[in-house]
Amino acid sequence: MPASLQEVKRRIESTKKTSQITSAMQMVSTAKLSQIQKHATSYQVYATKIRSVITHLSKSHLLDSVNTISKNSDGKVNTLGMLRQRPVKTTGIVVITSDRGLVGSYNSNVIKETLELIENNHHSTEDVAIIAIGGTGADFFKKRGYNVAYEYRGISDIPTYKDARPLVEAIVSMYDKEVYDELFVCYSHFVNTLTSEFRAEKMLPVSAENMGHDDLTSNDEGYSIEYETEPSEDAILEVVLPQYAESLVYGAILDAKTSEHASSSTAMKSASDNAKDIISSLELQYNRARQSAITTEITEITGAQAALE
């Protein structure tokens, strides 16, 4: 067999093996996507209720009357500090990306939009603190001189609620220590298998302005909402605020992971389809070269036979 035919044959075999790998990865990503969508759907009900409670409390001005001292008497971080507003000198940005590649444009879109957010708010590397969830984002911002104040790698493909707790504790602690004065959560929101969109939600400080009143019905307009609290407003918010923060961070992680699996599944499907196209093209090229070689051999044999006669 001529060297050119052997090379084409090796490329066909190599591309077939690659196609088998990408097809397997597509099936794995599709299975993970199906599994995480079930978690996201059920969790959304809880997250909506928590947001509704905080929204009603903010509309009743209960959030305005609490004590927002930075420390409890035992020295622990006071979660009511999440309500404390101060002049913005440093902006914290939580960026959620993946730890690995092979996810299409998922990571590049999140990073690009986050950079635009920083630029549009006239921030420089000195007045931005990055909280990176995922190795891709952490490595990107480190290489470009940003202050990566906290990074979290190796988050599971199907994140659990407890995964968000150490993140929230670190985030609130850094806000309490004035590492940053406001915080945004940036991630890729899952729309459907083929579509996702970038979201940047303001998490800290907790206020009526950055939450809005989307969960309230029109029937609430014109009424003053009041609450009688037992034992106290502070005690209630000490419980509710951490749950709100955890729901926001975990919800963003869950949403981002859903988008990641969808992007990975789409990317692997495209790779498999491209591999099939390449294989078809190479097989056509191989068959034509083989046919040409056979024709040449037949011609040579016929010419030799004619010469003998």
CATH number of the domain where residue 103 is located = 3.40.1380.10
* pLDDT tens, position by position, 232-275: 666 777 777 778 888 888 889 999 999 999 999 999 999 999 99
Structural domain includes residue 273: no
Structural domain includes residue 296: no
Structural domain includes residue 302: no
Output the pLDDT for position 139.
93
Question: Measuring CA to CA, how many Å separate 153 from each of 66, 116, 132, 157, 256?
Answer: 36, 24, 8, 12, 14
Which position has the higher pLDDT, 87 or 226? 87
- Alpha-carbon distance 201 to 212, whole Å? 12
* pLDDT tens, position by position, 125-135: 788 999 999 99
Asked if residue 224 has pLDDT above 50, the reply is: yes
Asked if residue 222 has pLDDT above 80, the reply is: no
Structural domain includes residue 9: no
* Contact in structure between 103 and 263 (CB atoms under 8 Å): yes
Structural domain includes residue 28: yes
In this prediction the pTM is: 0.80
Structural domain includes residue 3: no
Cβ neighbours, 10 Å, residue 119: 10
Cβ neighbours, 10 Å, residue 232: 11
Structural domain includes residue 203: yes
Give how many domains the chain has, as a whole number: 1
Q: Which residues of 295-306 are buried (b: 16+ CB within 10 A; e: fewer)?
A: eeeeeeeeeeee
Range of the domain at 60: 23-214+226-268
- Alpha-carbon distance 108 to 98, whole Å? 10
Structural domain includes residue 301: no
Question: Measuring CA to CA, how many Å separate 115 from each of 123, 203, 205, 301?
Answer: 10, 18, 22, 69
